[in-house]
Structure 1
Amino acid sequence: MYAKWLDKLKNVKLFENIESDELNRMLLCLKPKVVFYKKKEYVTMSEDEFIGIGIVIKGEVIVTKENAAGDRVIMAKLKENSIFGETIAFSNNDKWPASVIASTDCTVLFLPPDKIVGNCPRMCIGHKLLIQNMLRIVSQKAIELNRKIEYLSMKSIRSKISAYLLEQYNIVGKNKFMISLKRNELAEFLNVSRPSLSREIIKMKEEGIIDFYKSSFEIIDIEALKLNI
């Protein structure tokens, strides 16, 4: 039943170090639900009943939340092998804290959290690894959410742009890179208007700090970029 997804699921951090045969047995035991969504369709909406940890096994989704003014803020853009819902899965809350929207046609596997924490009747060999992986993932997500709060707390648009570009630079280790967010998505992620974002990056280009073309960015003067934060 889940065999056709094994090659993809082996690349998911939640199943790291779990052999294919063991993973297949675990899936048969856990009985996750696999759902297909069309582009722009809601995978889940904020305050919907929580149905399980989502794993993107094909396509891309964006995680969004409305701010106090009612504007949509993009929390994350998730590609294949990414996970969402892990921070709520083991809490006392039974509602989704944010909305998840398909940014392309996509397939999502929903894993019931109650069986992850030890109620699996067979207690598969890979179960301990699964729990260890989940703890690492939740810890990493907490770090990412903390970075998101730092972005939102910055007062100037330039400081937000600079912090984001420096983070991408540190991730890839090169001064030239592609970002996964489109211009409107980046504006929503940084919680600024798209026109204001565009004006600021144009100014930064004119000042010789960065160069860009669509989703491709190059850091020309990294020290100047650091001074903007």
Structure 2
Amino acid sequence: MDIKNYLDILKLTGLFDRLSTEELLDLFKDNRYIISQYKKSSIIHFESEKCTSWDIILKGEVTVQKIDEKGNVLTVTEFRTGDTIGGNLLFSKHPYYPMSVLAKSNADILHINKDFVLHLCQNSQDFLIQFLTCISDKTAILTNKIKSISMKSIRESIVEFLNYEYYSQKSHVIKLPLTKNELAERLGIQRTSLSRELNKMKKDGLVDYDSRSITICNFDIIRKL
């Protein structure tokens, strides 16, 4: 696959926006990269796989998941076109993926090898700053996710989700942007545990729900912003 087809996307990441088309083509002319296509639900990186490249999503969406010994799936975060993966592992003394990376949809991924990344950092201060920003942001996402899972009950996690969607959708009837199974994965709980807690909240008069929405019945659970 030809990098020429993705130059506009590379510029949108903020990492290469100061470079002209000609400069970008010159950077990638030595073929120190691979563009791979992945079908929906296929694994891009396995848990414990060694990180040997810095990845940029050129098309599609990917999800980072952790599967425990009981088969429970926790969706840590999702990334879309223009996002990057692996920068926080590539130069680590322990460069192994702690979780699996899967294609949520058909995806095109640019894999840039370690030497190329080092070359870019050494030759452009702007790129170095943007690269470090990417690393910091990914670390913050993971830290916040772990913190939210370890410190919140199931009900608190549901209420936090409802708060976010209430102010986002500006409605007390929250249309679910994902399936109940996907919501359970995002919250780091089992599907049955989510259904059980929603049923308890319904009996308590806090919410009502169906397969496509959750209706807020008691606004005491909504934080005033």
Q: Tell me the TM-score normalised to structure 2 length.
A: 0.79
Checking the alignment, whether the CA contact within 8 Å between 1:59 and 1:104 is kept in structure 2 is: yes
Aligned equivalent of 1:88: 89
Instruction: Give distance in 1, aligned partners of 2:121 and 2:125.
Output: 14
Alignment of 1:126-205 (within 5 A): 127-167=124-164, 172=168, 174-176=169-171, 181-201=178-198, 204=201
2:56 is the counterpart of 1:61? no
**Residue 14 (structure 1) shift:** 3.5
Aligned equivalent of 2:50: 49
Alignment of 1:67-78 (within 5 A): 67=68, 69-78=70-79
- What percent of counterpart residues are identical? 28
Instruction: Give distance in 1, aligned partners of 2:130 and 2:50.
Output: 25
Instruction: Give distance in 1, aligned partners of 2:175 and 2:143.
Output: 23
Checking the alignment, whether the CA contact within 8 Å between 1:60 and 1:80 is kept in structure 2 is: yes
**CA-to-partner distance for each residue in 1:147-192, whole Å, 9 max, x for gaps?**
201221134211012223434567x5x5357765432122112111
AA matched with 1:153: S
Instruction: Give distance in 2, aligned partners of 1:113 and 1:220.
Output: 53
Instruction: Give distance in 2, aligned partners of 1:16 and 1:178.
Output: 37
Checking the alignment, whether the CA contact within 8 Å between 2:74 and 2:189 is kept in structure 1 is: no
**CA-to-partner distance for each residue in 1:181-214, whole Å, 9 max, x for gaps?**
4321221121111133234346556735587873
AA matched with 2:9: K
**Residue 52 (structure 1) shift:** 0.8
AA matched with 1:44: H
RMSD across aligned C-alpha pairs, in angstroms? 3.2
> Cα–Cα, structure 1 residues 19 and 211, in superposed 2: closer, same or farther, change >3 Å?
farther
Checking the alignment, whether the CA contact within 8 Å between 1:15 and 1:133 is kept in structure 2 is: no
Instruction: Give distance in 1, aligned partners of 2:99 and 2:143.
Output: 16
**CA-to-partner distance for each residue in 1:68-101, whole Å, 9 max, x for gaps?**
6553211112222222212212211232222111
Q: Which runs of 5+ in 2 are unaligned?
A: none
Q: Which runs of 5+ in 1 are unaligned?
A: none
**Residue 132 (structure 1) shift:** 0.7
AA matched with 1:73: L
> Cα–Cα, structure 1 residues 96 and 220, in superposed 2: closer, same or farther, change >3 Å?
same
Q: Tell me the TM-score normalised to structure 1 length.
A: 0.78
Q: How many residues align?
A: 220
Aligned equivalent of 2:111: 110
> Cα–Cα, structure 1 residues 181 and 89, in superposed 2: closer, same or farther, change >3 Å?
farther
> Cα–Cα, structure 1 residues 203 and 211, in superposed 2: closer, same or farther, change >3 Å?
same
> Cα–Cα, structure 1 residues 38 and 141, in superposed 2: closer, same or farther, change >3 Å?
same
> Cα–Cα, structure 1 residues 110 and 191, in superposed 2: closer, same or farther, change >3 Å?
same
